[in-house]
Amino acid sequence: MKFFVRIRILLTFTAIVFLQHSKAQNPSSVIKKTDKKASLKNSFKNYFLIGAAINAAQIEEKEPNAAILIPQQFNSITPENIMKCEVIHPQWDKYNFDLADKYVAYGKKNKMFIVGHTLVWHSQLSPFINNIQSSDSLMMFMTNHINTVAGRYAGKVNSWDVVNEALNDDGTLRKSIFLEKLGEDYLRKAFELAAKADPKAELYYNDYNIEQPKKRAGAIKLIKKIQASGTKIDGVGIQAHWSINGPPLQDIENSIIEFSALGLKISFTELDLTALPNPWDLKGADVNQNFEGSPFMNPYPNGLPDSLQRKLAKGYEDLFKLFIKYKNKIERVTFWGVNDGQSWLNGWPIKGRTNYPLLFDSNFKPKLAYKKVMALVPKK
């Protein structure tokens, strides 16, 4: 008798382990179970677009779970890296459209609002650009780049981040090869070129921290100058890289009001809420100190404590309540990544950390934050 009881206990235990293992190995069972109708994109379809930044593996549908989750939950996509200069234009007269073509085709196949990111940015530039000496050559580079890249996807890409991060946090213009060699007018020129290359696409100025008063003032000044020149600019992208310790809701509300007063569309283009401490949070910390591997800076390698899951959920809930309040002024809310595992915040500003900034965990499972956001809109 004892023998059979033991066998039965053993069999039950093995079954449980097997089930857990298969779920972990095959998360799609989790996603499939998610009620397809109940998705971010469907719930918010009368409010604003819901997007995600996707990487090369997701564009090529090499991740089976992302291949299910992305078209299920999102109706807009942004290329996390593959349309940036260093990838798409590696040499003066050489372009590499392989992944960008696949990205646009993926978006068309899934009937999504396709964002292009980004035409003019001081970062992730191809090495040959730093060797450009004359202003004329740099202007030729910028003209060729915008004509060729935006021209190729004219009528397919719905919205371009034409210029990205051209401001310092005090609202002044950021030093870059573009400002140095072309002067401030490079901003207007970039929008003029993009409007010619793709007259249908919406043209955005995109930046981080522009919800903060000083930088917001700088962005408004920049945008007004472009508008005053009669050059087309349609929207402003507030990147929204914020923290679990509270995005500045009042600053965000003021920026929605002030930017929409310029007649612009507003999008939150790179939303994530970091759950980890950063060097600059530490009083007196030397931010250049190498924190790599420091347990203090990577406090939750094995999972986010429930108290912080609730804090993250509250952060997103408060944000989406604000977005819903201004739904007539907001075109799009895009998350900077699909799930926690993909997030750039696992490697920035300190490499090798485990972060939890998005609505889906590393197994593509919807988190409490997802449920709180979804609960804000009445089920149909």
176 binding ligand G3I? (CB under 6 A): no
Which sign, positive or negative, has the C-alpha torsion 230, 231, 235, 238? Answer: negative
User: What mask, x for binding ligand G3I by CB under 6 A, covers residues 257 to 296?
Assistant: -------------x--------------------------
Q: Per DSSP, which regions of 25-151 are E strands? A: 49-54, 76-79, 113-121
Binding residues for ligand G3I, rule CB under 6 A, total 8
What is the 8-class DSSP label of residue 131?
G
Closest-approach residue to ligand G3I (CB) = 344
Task: Compute the C-alpha angle 122/125/129, nearest 5°.
Answer: 100
Give the span between the Cα atoms of 184 and 182, in whole angstroms. 7
Helix pair 249-260, 306-325: axis angle to 10 deg = 20
d(CA 97, CA 250): 41
The active-site residue, picked from 165, 211, 258, 331, is: 165
Q: Which is nearer to ligand G3I, 6 or 175 (CB)?
A: 175
Instruction: List the one residue from 123, 135, 245, 290 that touches ligand G3I (CB under 6 A).
Output: 123
**Closest CB to ligand G3I among residues 43, 239:** 239
Residue 66 burial (CB count, 10 A) = 24
Q: How far is the CB of 337 from ligand G3I (least distance, A)?
A: 7
* CA diameter of the chain: 91
Q: Which is nearer to ligand G3I, 91 or 123 (by Cβ)?
A: 123
Question: Quick check: bond before 127 cis, omega within 30?
Answer: no
Q: Residues 177 to 236: which contact ligand G3I by CB under 6 A?
A: none
| Catalytic residue check, 270 | yes
Smallest gap from Cβ 63 to ligand G3I, in A, equals 14
- Let me know: does 364 contact 79? Beta carbons within 8 Å: no
- Contact pattern for ligand G3I over residues 64 through 83, marking x by CB under 6 A: ----------------xx--
CB of 209 to ligand G3I, least distance (A): 11
CA dihedral 101, 103, 108, 110 (to 10 degrees): 150
Of 326-365, which residues contact ligand G3I (CB under 6 A)?
344
Length of the chain: 380
Contact between 239 and ligand G3I (CB under 6 A)? yes
Q: Name the residues that contact ligand G3I, by CB under 6 A.
A: 80-81, 123-124, 164, 239, 270, 344
Residues acting as catalytic residues: 165, 270
